Amino acid sequence: MEALTTWWTELLGGNAIFTANTLEFYWNGLTTTIQLVFLSLLIGILLAVPLAIGRGSKHPWIRMPIYAYTYVFRGTPLLIQLYLVYYGVVFFEGIQESMFWPIFREAFYPALMAFTLNTAAYTTEIFRGAIKNTAKGEIEAARAYGMSKPLMLRRIVLPSAFRRALPAYGNEVIFMLHASAVASVVTIMDLTGAAYYVYARFYAPFQAFIFVALIYLCLTFSVMFVFRRLERRLLAHLRPREG
Amino acid sequence: MATTATPLQARNIKKRFGTHEVLKGLSLEAHQGDVITLIGASGSGKSTFLRCMNLLEQPDEGELIVHDEPIHFRDTKHGREPMDWKQVERIRAKLSMVFQNFNLWAHMTLLENVIEAPVHVLGKPKKQAIDEARSLLDRVGLLDRADYYPTQMSGGQQQRGAIARALAMDPEVMLFDEPTSALDPELVGDVLKVMRGLADEGRTMILVTHEIAFARDVSSQVIYLHQGVIEESGAPAQVLDDPRSERLRQFLAPKH
């Protein structure tokens, strides 16, 4: 590690801003951003699948609360949601004495919670649309071949809906990656937080933010690459046959 | 199949859509090896009648008995529905349906389509299901298309694939709902040829079709429906070549 640090410092000797020290800041910001985005997407999608199914329920007392939830979270800015969760948790009676306080005292977890609720709302609607667009004939065939509702959901409706939802969900992932920049306003040292720190310390806004923009670009391209591969694999049934 | 049970009986089936009564008490009895053809103008209720047999439509009145097992109904405030959906699922698995628009599952290859219900509904081992599916695909002339997705095949190929999917269930009765109506004329022949083969080997089939020549050829019984009533019924020679009613004569008359 020490040798690496020396190597960096020598390599970067030519400039005052991008030292091993500030690069480490960016690096930690990068890991924080990835953790925050990855975890919120993961929990978000796990919440969104049952919510999307419930969103299409014929019982209004299942359908309506889910609709209200997605309506509110898609209808308000993520930054406001973040503020409300971050500053709002303390108003829960007794939370500061509870076992959860060490978690919510950190800015990371309120941010994770706000991001998760936000992306789950969007993902629910994406999946809901895809489920609704399942071909009626395919559902009819599933019924005619003796499938129960859960089996039909598991084998026909969801696999077909997830494939249809993939391009829209890829956009949602990129959207979350970019939206996660707001985490820095609640003291989280994510990528944007790191850039802000470097800017403030050296008063070098362009270098600090252009560098971070490049990192976001690389991340975005990686996400796009992964989704392109997934679409190639999973949407093969929509393409004419090759060869 | 050395069974003495009657594969399918429908008694006095009635069905309303709103205030419009589409089926006004229809009965039918399919014995082992019967090929029963339902003909009639559009709106005569023939497809609805067929769809009542596997309960894709719920009949408002009447009895359904599959392989000597009556389906139990109960009255709810939304109308009559089956008492036990597990029973319905079990019975549907014995009545394979072939649809006008094929309705293959688009995200699965042809082979996956054919093994889907045998594996996940009947609980067959996957290996065995694949072996059987391959020989069925060979039989309908699609073995080289096993790894194709439905959209990569022609309508005629999709329909023959759908017939293979139906056969994979080894059904008591096969229900065909206008299987050639969505096909280009030059593709109809291949599908009819497969169906003729099934009739020849003694499959019990109930079929809604506009292919009168085919009906004459393969049917053991032809039923002519008009406005939800069985107007004529009997052997194809009798019904198709010597119709009693003026209406059926007009229906069978060449259109141009």
Among B97, B103, B106, select the one facing A160 at the smallest CB separation.
B106
Taking alpha carbons only, the member of B101, B96, B83 closest to residue B53 is: B96
Q: What is the mean pLDDT of chain A?
A: 90
Q: Residues 197-226, chain B: which have Cβ within 8 Å of A?
A: none
The number of beta carbons lying within 10 Å of the beta carbon of residue B195 is 26
Structure tokens at B24: 């006004």
Q: Cα separations (Å) of A94 from A97, A100, A110, B33?
A: 5, 10, 17, 75
In tens, the pLDDT along A137-193 reads 999 999 999 999 999 999 999 999 999 999 999 999 999 999 999 999 998 999 999
Taking alpha carbons only, the member of A232, A210, A229, A233 closest to residue A221 is: A229
Which pLDDT belongs to residue B256? 58
In tens, the pLDDT along B178-206 reads 999 999 988 899 999 999 999 999 999 99
Q: Residues 178-237, chain A: which have Cβ within 8 Å of B?
A: 236-237
Q: How confident is the model at residue A195 (pLDDT cuts 50, 70, 90)?
A: very high
Please give the share of chain A, as a percent, with pLDDT higher than 90.
69
Which pLDDT belongs to residue B3? 54
B76 touches A at CB < 8 Å: no
Taking alpha carbons only, the member of B102, B150, B107, B105 closest to residue A241 is: B150
CB contact under 8 A, B99 and A237: no
* Low-confidence residues in chain B, pLDDT < 50: 1-2
Residue A193 and residue A184 in contact, taking contact as beta carbons nearer than 8 Å: yes
Taking alpha carbons only, the member of A163, A190, A196, A189 closest to residue A178 is: A190
Distance from CA of A159 to the nearest CA of B (A): 8
Provide the pairing of β-strand B8-17 with B61-66: antiparallel
The CATH number for A215's domain is: 1.10.3720.10
CB contact under 8 A, B120 and A151: yes
End-to-end, the C-alpha distance of chain B in Å comes to 45
Residues of B in contact with A155 (CB under 8 A): 116, 120
Distance from CA of B93 to the nearest CA of A (A): 5
In tens, the pLDDT along A10-46 reads 666 667 777 778 888 899 999 999 999 999 999 999 9
CB contact under 8 A, B99 and A141: yes
> What CATH number does domain B1-94+175-256 carry, 3.40.50.300, 3.20.20.80, 1.10.40.50, 3.40.630.30?
3.40.50.300
Q: Give a yes or no: residue A20 inside a domain.
A: no
Strand order across the B95-98 sheet: B95-98, B173-177, B205-208, B35-39, B221-226, B229-234
CB contact under 8 A, B92 and A143: yes
Q: Please give the residue range of the domain that contains residue A138.
A: 53-238
Q: Residues 94-153, chain A: which have Cβ within 8 Å of B?
A: 135, 137-138, 140-148, 151
Q: Give a yes or no: residue A188 inside a domain.
A: yes
What single-letter DSSP state applies at residue A12?
Answer: T
Domain boundary assignment for chain B? 1-94+175-256, 108-170
Q: Which residues pair with B232 in a beta bridge?
A: B224
Q: Give a yes or no: residue A200 inside a domain.
A: yes
Please tell me the total count of domains within chain A. Answer: 1
Q: Which of A131, A136, A143, A145 to mutate to test the interface with B (most CBs of B within 10 A)?
A: A145
ipTM confidence: 0.91
What single-letter DSSP state applies at residue A94?
Answer: T
Q: Give a yes or no: residue A40 inside a domain.
A: no
CB contact under 8 A, A146 and B85: no
